Structure 1
Amino acid sequence: MIRRLLPFLRDVWAIAGPFWRSEERWRARMLLAVVVALNLALVGMSVLLTYWQNTFYNVLEARNSDAFLDLLFRWHEDPQSGRTLPGFVYIATAYVLTAVYALYLRQALQIRWRRWITENLIAGWLNDRAHYRIGLTEAGTDNPDQRIADDARLFVDDTLILGLGLMNAVVTLGSFVIVLWTLSGPVTLFGASIPGYMVWVALLYSLIGTGLAHWIGRPLIRLNFLQQRVEADFRFALVRLRENGEGIALHAGEADEHRALSGRFRALVENWWSIMVATKRLTFFTAGFNQVAIIFPIAVAAPAYFAGRMSLGGLIQTSSAFESVQGSLSWFVSNYSNVTEWRATVDRLTGFRAAIDRAAATGGGLARSEAANDALALDGATLSLPDGRVLARDAALTLAPGERVLVQGPSGAGKSTLFRAIAGIWPFAEGRLALPPGKRLLFLPQRPYIPLGSLRRAVCYPEDAARFTDAEVAEVLSDAGLAALIPRLDEEDNWAKRLSGGEQQRLALARALLVKPDFLFLDEATASLDPASEAALHQVLKERLPQTAILSIAHRESVARFHDRTLRFAEGRLAPA
């Protein structure tokens, strides 16, 4: 068990450690120190309350009404022990205030930690196009959105809650074991005197409970991990249906989608039933274990009470102290289900971080260098698929300023892969790419990406919309044939749904007119337009961007007249047509 625990704790620290060493460390450490101090104060008040209970029940047994009122509302000096105890109203008020601020400040630490870890996961996912490379190479790394949104939150919450709970258990054990040792005294068993026998009874009781809880609840570790996965798979399928509603409706594919969704949900339900069965078995044990713990200490200490060696207050205090000691020792039993969920979360985050690292180390793509002139030059490029199959060997091309080159070839020959390699996002490529320094490259795929937000943001993406004036944005929309949308620039909508395929391609070309890149790559970027509109937009590009070099992928032969020369992909080679 220790061999499995140490690697797990290393994984936990690998996720948590960077935050406590980050720029947030001093504020985070201060918050944690205050939260720890408040939790320790709560333990201290719990210890004080056991002494108050001892005196309170002795006062009840003696029918002393004055002392009873003192213990409730004022201060009381116990003549037997010599202790001066505060009234219950003072203890309760201090306890409530401490508990409220312990929770409030812990939540403040939680949101700070969650913000930091979420921002770092997003940064790692987006840096070096890891989000794209993971999709190419990590088929088993499911639902990164859920790992960032849900698993990060669960990790922070569970780490703090379980960590503080374990600390409280340890401190409570250290505080109450002294009280219990003093109260229980020795017992003679088989002729041997055992001092502080109630402590040993609590220890034995808890060890048995912990071992049985782990044996009974162990299947929950795997089941909780799987439940997080099937929940995320089902949610992702629902999002996919929403995003592709038109295509599904046009294919009349609702019945098939229903079957697929039902299948995913069935997997979710089946795993949930397995969790229910495992939880039922664990709850049978833990509920029984906790119920027995209520009466067990009184039953063990009762002989001393009936023999007159212990007062009623002492019996109640012994029971409370035993409950605290046993509860601390049985922390693992009480939190076993939460620990299994936490472990599943740690495993998913660890796997996600490992996938990001592997994606960063997956190939280097084309070797990039600085060109000696203003032309882009590709030389000796070999393009492969993730499975190792080679698409092209020794591909070469030169693209000078203002030049327009068309690339054609059969589907699957590697035309789009060539663009991805030049863009630097395709890791399965070898060769050399020389780029003029300080030049801007813009790639427009067949299906443009339309971000959420205003139409202005969609036109200016990925630049900051504040860089451009209303007149500049309106002009490029008009040039792209979208003048009717100009009054809606600041309207926020799901524009990927509102605009047709042709309108989306017009909007993407408006971006090119706005940004004025030095090199523009068009991958079937006008394929959704009718021939007349396609020709008009190519003419606009030629007039508005005379110094921009354009490399186009297109199947229509009519597009060739807008280009200076044509290259063709055939049999793994890129050659002049």
Structure 2
Amino acid sequence: MKRVGSFVGDWWRLVIPYFKSEERWIAITLLVGAISLTFVAVGLEVLFNDWNRRFYDSLQNKDEAAFWREITIFSLLAAGFIAAGVARAIVSPYLRLRWRRWLTRQYLAHWLDGRGYYRIELQRTVDNADQRIAEDLRQLGEYTMTLLLGILGAVATLISFLFILWNLSGPLSLKPIGIDITIPGYMAWVALIYAVIGTFFANLVGRRLIPLNFQRQRYEANFRFSLVRVRENAEGIALYRGEEREAEVLNQRFADVFANGWQVLFTQAQLALYQVSYGQIAIIFPYIVTAPGFFSGALTLGVVMQTASAFGQVQGALSFFIDNYTYLAELRAVMDRLMGLQKASDAKPATSIEVAPEPGRSDLGAAGLTLGLPNGQALLADATFALPRGRSTLITGASGSGKSTLFRALAGIWPFGKGQVRVPAGARVLFLPQKPYIPIGTLRDAVKYPDEQSTASDAEIVSALEAVKLGHIAGRMDEVAHWTNILSGGEQQRLAVARALVFKPDWLFLDEATASLDEAMETAVYEALKQRLPAMTMVSIGHRPSLRQWHDRQIELRRGQGEVGRLVEA
């Protein structure tokens, strides 16, 4: 019971927000419509059950007029059943589609808010967040509607047909076996006991599917991710002749998928063996029970068929959890994965680096800045420094000393640390990492990114591209492409600099942003920045001595192995 309560509680917390959202009225209307159509279907089944008795009685009595009358009635019932079926095929899927759209927006906002996606990737608190949003949200709505409508239909069927079966089966006397007891509506009791026993054993067999389905989603996502990595790094793998190694990794990933798939298959086969055996016994049982009465003439063929139909409906309703155990197991796994994503997105460090605009401030600086790695290792402790407006600063240091971490902290995205970063109010600040991000889209959008409000004209964009020696692609402004796969590493870095020329920041931070350029091209890029953005304050992180000439000041981040770093004016 504790597991059932936990399941229902977790399900409620995941499901109910949509029905309280801004879409609640249309969501509730569609839900009520789907439930109503489910009850209509049950009502039609009751009418079909009664029709069975009359139809088979007409056959037994060789009453041709009654036969054709029942055929006409069947046609009307069938038309209603078809109409209800078509309506159900529209209403429930449409509700699921709208629900998925709302959930996707909410989860995307939650995942992106406060850079939760960044923390998750740094800490690896959950795997494959993208797959959880793309697949698990779809399955949440799909399994929920299937099971919810199934349960309501089963309850309505049970109530309707239990009354019919109770009346049809009559009392059963146990006097022939020496027990002076009469059981009223005995077949209803038999169906109930049969279903309870069946549900117990189905749970015993099928509960192993819950962890297996959880792992299946993980292994499938890992395999897809590895395939995508090969596709996105095709050139590097080809140059390294890494095909054999990649094949080994991919086959190992799929080995996990296969091993898990075999375990799922074996468990489902065991469950299927039990479910099919259970169902087949239930088919023949009512005929065995009613056969003596039929052969003695006490029951008509119509009553036998109606009793068998009613028993099947009651047994089917009571066996809902047996027949849908796989769905329940998969829904449990989906819920666990979504709650894991929610928890990881909500998890924030106890301390944080505060980045705040300050009215009247002219320089950009940090106070009490402490930085660490995800494993707790300290990089910088209680550092205070200023980056004056108009004085370009070069930050240097040994590889691994923490320069890029400092860059991320000043950008406000590094979650492991504390202190304050003060920025002049209203200042336009842009950060260029070593590996630029270029969205899939037009070249125009790639240069303007992320400034959606940019009013830069095509002429300005072309001029910026020409300034960084990318004039040869300026004619492809409207071409939609995956530019990361088209441009070389150096071209991508130059496109990022063109982005800065269009954005016109007050403060520009470059973290090895020209590392893929030769010195001549690096010189051309820095000259373009200096000439076109004379009022900009530039802060660069890099190793090359050639960078020194473009900066007025140099700060070195010194940190020995296992030590806490310190900033030293060079």
TM value normalised by structure 2? 0.97
Q: Distance in 1 between matches of 2:363 and 2:56?
A: 93
After TM superposition, the structure 1 = structure 2 runs for residues 308-323 of structure 1, keeping only pairs within 5 Å, are 308-323=297-312
Partner of 1:264: 253
Instruction: Give CA deviations for 1:174-223 in whole Å, capped at 9, x if unaligned.
Output: 11111111111111122211111010000011111111111111211111
Partner of 1:18: 17
Alpha-carbon offset, residue 397 of structure 1: 2.4
Instruction: Give CA deviations for 1:82-124 in whole Å, capped at 9, x if unaligned.
Output: xxxxx11100001001011112111100100000101111111
Note if 1:216 corresponds to 2:224: no
8 Å contact 1:366–1:422 — kept in the other structure? no
Note if 1:49 corresponds to 2:48: yes
Note if 1:374 corresponds to 2:362: yes
8 Å contact 1:391–1:413 — kept in the other structure? yes
8 Å contact 1:366–1:429 — kept in the other structure? no
Alpha-carbon offset, residue 305 of structure 1: 2.3
Segment of structure 1 superposing worse, 430-439 or 363-372: 363-372
Partner of 1:145: 130
8 Å contact 2:104–2:137 — kept in the other structure? yes
Q: Distance in 1 between matches of 2:355 and 2:432?
A: 23
Partner of 1:36: 35
Q: Distance in 2 between matches of 1:206 and 1:380?
A: 67
Segment of structure 1 superposing worse, 530-539 or 467-476: 467-476
8 Å contact 2:357–2:425 — kept in the other structure? no
Query: Which secondary structure state, in structure 1, belongs to the residue aligned with residue 351 of structure 2?
Result: coil
Partner of 2:159: 174
Partner of 1:418: 406
Query: Which secondary structure state, in structure 2, belongs to the residue aligned with residue 394 of structure 1?
Result: strand
Partner of 2:351: 363
Q: 1:160 aligns with which of 111, 136, 145?
A: 145
Q: Distance in 1 between matches of 2:90 and 2:209?
A: 31
8 Å contact 1:31–1:109 — kept in the other structure? yes
Note if 1:244 corresponds to 2:233: yes
Instruction: Give CA deviations for 1:504-553 in whole Å, capped at 9, x if unaligned.
Output: 01100001000111111000111111101111111111111111111100
Q: Distance in 2 between matches of 1:543 and 1:27?
A: 57
Segment of structure 1 superposing worse, 308-317 or 327-336: 308-317
Q: 1:521 aligns with which of 495, 500, 509?
A: 509
Alpha-carbon offset, residue 402 of structure 1: 2.5
Q: 1:447 aligns with which of 435, 439, 460?
A: 435
Alpha-carbon offset, residue 429 of structure 1: 1.6
8 Å contact 2:349–2:415 — kept in the other structure? no
8 Å contact 1:187–1:193 — kept in the other structure? yes
1:184 partner letter = S
Q: Distance in 1 between matches of 2:307 and 2:398?
A: 85
Partner of 2:391: 403
Q: Distance in 1 between matches of 2:194 and 2:446?
A: 65
Alpha-carbon offset, residue 367 of structure 1: 5.6
8 Å contact 1:362–1:427 — kept in the other structure? no
8 Å contact 2:353–2:421 — kept in the other structure? no
Alpha-carbon offset, residue 400 of structure 1: 2.6
8 Å contact 1:366–1:421 — kept in the other structure? no
Alpha-carbon offset, residue 363 of structure 1: 3.5
Partner of 1:341: 330
Q: Distance in 1 between matches of 2:201 and 2:378?
A: 56
2:331 partner letter = W
1:250 partner letter = L
1:42 partner letter = A
Partner of 1:83: none
After TM superposition, the structure 1 = structure 2 runs for residues 399-548 of structure 1, keeping only pairs within 5 Å, are 399-464=387-452, 467-548=455-536
Q: Distance in 1 between matches of 2:421 and 2:452?
A: 28
Note if 1:576 corresponds to 2:569: yes
Alignment root-mean-square deviation, CA: 1.3
Q: 1:352 aligns with which of 341, 347, 350?
A: 341
8 Å contact 2:428–2:506 — kept in the other structure? yes
Partner of 2:118: 132
2:44 partner letter = M
Note if 1:123 corresponds to 2:109: yes
After TM superposition, the structure 1 = structure 2 runs for residues 223-302 of structure 1, keeping only pairs within 5 Å, are 223-302=212-291
1:108 partner letter = Y
Instruction: Give CA deviations for 1:65-97 in whole Å, capped at 9, x if unaligned.
Output: 111111112xxxxxxxxxxxxx11100001001
Query: Which secondary structure state, in structure 2, belongs to the residue aligned with residue 411 of structure 1?
Result: coil
Distance verdict in 2 for CA 1:465–1:488, change over 3 Å? farther
1:576 partner letter = E
2:531 partner letter = E
Segment of structure 1 superposing worse, 212-221 or 44-53: 212-221
Instruction: Give CA deviations for 1:118-154 in whole Å, capped at 9, x if unaligned.
Output: 11111111111100011122x2411111100011101
Percent sequence identity over aligned pairs: 46
Distance verdict in 2 for CA 1:351–1:453, change over 3 Å? same
Q: 1:92 aligns with which of 64, 75, 78?
A: 78
1:430 partner letter = K
Segment of structure 1 superposing worse, 286-295 or 302-311: 302-311
Partner of 1:79: none
TM value normalised by structure 1? 0.95
Structure 2: segments with no counterpart, 5+ residues: 560-564
Alpha-carbon offset, residue 362 of structure 1: 5.4
Q: Distance in 2 between matches of 1:546 and 1:380?
A: 31
Structure 1: segments with no counterpart, 5+ residues: 74-86
Instruction: Give CA deviations for 1:141-170 in whole Å, capped at 9, x if unaligned.
Output: 111111000111011100011110111001
8 Å contact 2:143–2:331 — kept in the other structure? yes
In the TM superposition, structure 1's runs of 4+ consecutive aligned residues that sit over 6 Å from their partners are none
8 Å contact 1:403–1:548 — kept in the other structure? no
Alpha-carbon offset, residue 304 of structure 1: 2.6
Note if 1:388 corresponds to 2:376: yes
Alpha-carbon offset, residue 10 of structure 1: 1.5
Note if 1:6 corresponds to 2:5: yes
Q: Distance in 1 between matches of 2:547 and 2:264?
A: 60
2:135 partner letter = D
8 Å contact 2:353–2:420 — kept in the other structure? no
1:141 partner letter = V
8 Å contact 2:58–2:67 — kept in the other structure? yes
Q: Distance in 2 between matches of 1:184 and 1:365?
A: 75
Partner of 2:562: none
Distance verdict in 2 for CA 1:174–1:226, change over 3 Å? same
Query: Which secondary structure state, in structure 2, belongs to the residue aligned with residue 422 of structure 1?
Result: helix
Alpha-carbon offset, residue 373 of structure 1: 1.8
Query: Which secondary structure state, in structure 1, belongs to the residue aligned with residue 420 of structure 2?
Result: strand
Alpha-carbon offset, residue 380 of structure 1: 2.1
Q: Distance in 1 between matches of 2:354 and 2:35?
A: 52
Distance verdict in 2 for CA 1:160–1:334, change over 3 Å? same
Instruction: Give CA deviations for 1:384-406 in whole Å, capped at 9, x if unaligned.
Output: 11111111123232223332100
1:53 partner letter = N
1:103 partner letter = A
Alpha-carbon offset, residue 465 of structure 1: 7.2
Partner of 1:80: none
1:26 partner letter = W
Distance verdict in 2 for CA 1:362–1:297, change over 3 Å? farther
Instruction: Give CA deviations for 1:207-262 in whole Å, capped at 9, x if unaligned.
Output: 11111111111211111111111111101110011111111111111111111111
Query: Which secondary structure state, in structure 2, belongs to the residue aligned with residue 467 of structure 1?
Result: coil
